[in-house]
Amino acid sequence: MKKLLCCGILAVCMAMLAACAMLSEEKIKLRDLDFTVLSEEKIPEQLAAIIGEKKAAPFQITYTDNANLYICIGYGEQETGGYSIAVNELYLTDANICVSTSLLGPEAAEKDNRTPSYPYIVIKTEYLEQTVTFE
């Protein structure tokens, strides 16, 4: 009975250590990625069409033309205009490309304008094979 209990405890400890190792590996930042935020005119046509279909609801998509990676984040329909989006982080880990953005609210004057808006951002960066993780 003691032997079975010890094996069980050992198995749980090993599983916890493996999980911790996996979590720590994913979050080790190798380097920040250079990027450009694209204006509407600079977005590739196919990508612009996809965004047009999705913009009413929040979305997170990636698109590539095999030369560049485009990371797109939309915040869905908002009651007014005047919103902006900040890129908090864009970096590479061993396993992923991590991106974090924030929706910034409109100025007080913009809140009076009740025309809905669909804020989104398109980030262009180098093409890499890693999966994009949205934080």
The 10s digit of each residue's pLDDT in 74-100 is 999 999 999 999 999 999 999 999 999
pLDDT interval class at 114 (50, 70, 90) = confident
pLDDT in tens, 93-110: 999 999 999 999 987 766
Sheet harboring 96-104: ordered strands across? 31-32, 84-92, 96-104, 131-134
Q: What is the pLDDT at residue 110?
A: 65
Query: DSSP code of 12?
Result: H
C-alpha–C-alpha distance, residues 125 and 71, integer Å = 8
C-alpha–C-alpha distance, residues 76 and 59, integer Å = 7
Total-model pTM: 0.78
pLDDT in tens, 6-52: 444 544 445 555 555 455 444 799 999 999 999 999 999 999 999 99
